[in-house]
A = this chain, B = another copy of it.
């Protein structure tokens, strides 16, 4: 059985004429005859009344019901890829908690505003779990901080953060190794890449182990830092956005440690569904406007 045959059958059902069907579907009448005839032979049932009026038999109508289901599903699938419409399609994105809070709101808002008909799902979790989801095909794309070691993946730098050391008191230089040994650091929970940066920073300063407090929210973290509880490491934009609320000060970190790039990782662009392609478009636009006026940023 052929989709084309079903389409011709529906044409005959609607027009009641072989020639009209042929015109409508851009073929010739004899071809319509041949297709219908083949369908009938295949099913062993006469589908169309020919004597005089051309109309479907009850068997033809029964088949037409299925044909309608089949063809509408087919059209829907086609429109998913070919058409500009992304209606009914699903887009599953994964991101870390920090990225979700820090960068995604404007992206998601812009995308949902432009394509409200897309069923957008956001999964949050630690990087390892996100990458696993991606490789299993459970999500269409994920946001990760730093490069992805997995090969064969499309990586696109979308956000760039400058991390700064945050403290309650003004700092002119990095704390001494001795100070760091006794200091307390405040960080998000395990699995967050910013926390990994803190550990990287400590290693860079020759400190092997320091006390790290895990906090669940940015406000709690900043509040504790302002209270003199210890240090933390955050994007500069974030600190600046909250500086008027807390008496906090920041110090630039050494360049290799300060620079954190957030990448969007997905399969190769050739495999993208239209919805994903649109999402990446939106993402690029938002990211571009972010870098043009970074001072407007922050959480």
Contacts and interface: CB of A to CB of B under 8 A. Distances in A.
A270 B47 CA distance: 9
A59 B58 CA distance: 38
Interface stretch (A78-86, A227-235, A253-261): A78-86
A122 interface: no
Contact of A137 (B58, B63, B77): B58
Contact of A59 (B45, B59, B82, B272): B272
Contact of A268 (B44, B46, B73, B78): B46
Contacts of A81: 43-45, 59, 63
A166 to B, nearest CB: 39
A1 B74 contact: yes
Nearest to A277: B45
Given A3-B3, A70-B74, A73-B73, A46 B82 contact: no
Given A46-B271, A271-B45, A271-B46, A66 B58 contact: no
Interface stretch (A48-56, A177-185, A283-291): A48-56
Contacts of A98: none
B1 A2 contact: no
Contacts of A43: 78, 81-82
A96 interface: no
Given A58-B273, A59-B273, A70-B70, 16 more contacts: A2-B3, A43-B78, A45-B273, A46-B268, A46-B270, A46-B271, A49-B267, A57-B267, A58-B140, A58-B267, A59-B272, A60-B271, A62-B80, A67-B77, A69-B73, A73-B73
Interface of A: 1-3, 43-47, 49, 51, 55-63, 66-67, 69-70, 73-74, 76-78, 80-82, 89-90, 137, 140, 152, 267-268, 270-273, 276
29 contacts: A1-B3, A1-B78, A43-B81, A43-B82, A44-B81, A45-B81, A45-B270, A45-B271, A45-B272, A46-B268, A46-B271, A47-B271, A56-B137, A58-B137, A58-B267, A58-B276, A59-B271, A59-B272, A60-B271, A62-B80, A62-B89, A62-B90, A66-B77, A66-B80, A67-B77, A69-B69, A69-B73, A70-B77, A73-B73
